[in-house]
Amino acid sequence: MNIFIHILIAGVFAGTSLAADLSAAGDSSSAHKTVEFIPRTGTFQLLESGVAGNDPVVFVWETDDSPGWLDPYPGTEAGYKDFAGWVRAHIDTEPRALLKRNRELWKKKGWSTRKYDLILSGQLGNIRPMNRLEGELLLLQLDRFGKPYKGEFLAFVLRKEGRLRIYGYGTAKGTMKPGMLRRRLEADIADKWEYYANLHNHPFQFSDKKSSTGELVPSGDINDGDVQYCLADAENNGLQRAAVTNGFHTIEITSKEFPLLGTVPDR
C-alpha cells in the first residue's frame, strides 16, 4: 500500500488543534473522550482533536532515549494479543515465509520481484522482531481504530541530547496527509535534532487472498511511494534509516542502502 502518495504535498489539516499535554500516567478524562492508550513514559500531546471516532489522530510524544526501546516488544498487552491472534488465524507470520508468499503473488501478476529477492538474499535491509518503541506506537493505533486493523501509522523519530521526539499520524484510511508534522519535523532538524528514523506499518488485509499482505517490503520506486520518500528525506533532511513493521517483524533499511533500493522497479 502506498501511504506516502500525499506526504510530499504540504497538506494542511482542517479543524482546531488540541494542545492537551498528557503524561504517560496522566488522566485521560476530559470533556471529550480521547485516545484510551497513551505511551506509558514521557509526555504525549495531541495535535489534532482526540474526540472518539475522529480520523486521523496526530500527536507528538517525547521520552528518554533509552536503549531499552530497541529491545524486542514482548507482546503482553491484551489489545496486541487480540491483534496477533486475529492475524495468526489467517496466515503464517514467520517473516521469510510471508515474504515468499507475497513474492509468489507478485510473480503471478507479472510484476518485478527484485525487492523481494534482495531482501530474501540478505542484500537489502535487516529483518528483526518489532521493538518496544514500534510496539508502543502500534498499540496506540490498535486501540484507536480497532478491527479490522486496516489502518496505518507514520512516525518521524528524532533524537537529541538523550531525548526522543516522535511525531505520529494514525489513520484507518489508505492515505496520509501529515503536512503539519512535516513542518514540525523540518523545524526540529534545523534546531539540530537528528532524524533517526522514519517508521510506518503495513497492515494485514485478508479480504483478497490474491493480494500481498503484512508486507515487509517498502512500496514504490524512485518515482513513487516509500522509496521516493526515503531518498528525498535522506538527501534533504538527513534521514538515517527507514523501517516498515507489520506488527510482528520489522525491516530496517539504512540510508547507505537507499541508493540500491532506488534502483529497483516497483512492478
Q: Does the CA dihedral 247-242-262-124 come out positive or negative?
A: negative
Q: Does the CA dihedral 99-100-106-111 come out positive or negative?
A: positive
Q: Assign residue 209 a region: left if phi > 0, alpha if psi is -120 to 50, beta otherwise?
A: alpha
**Per-residue tens of pLDDT for the chain, all 267 residues:** 444 433 333 332 333 232 333 333 333 333 344 556 788 899 999 887 666 568 888 999 999 999 999 999 999 999 999 999 999 999 999 999 999 999 999 999 999 999 999 999 999 999 999 999 999 999 999 998 888 898 899 999 999 999 999 999 999 887 777 777 989 999 999 999 999 999 999 999 998 888 899 999 999 888 888 899 899 999 999 999 999 999 999 999 999 999 999 999 888
Considering only CA atoms, which of 261, 160, 248, 235 is closest in space to residue 204? 248
Q: What DSSP character marks residue 256?
A: G
Cell of 232: 528525498
pTM of the model: 0.85
DSSP H helices, the chain, are 78-88, 95-108, 114-120, 132-145, 179-190, 225-237, 258-262
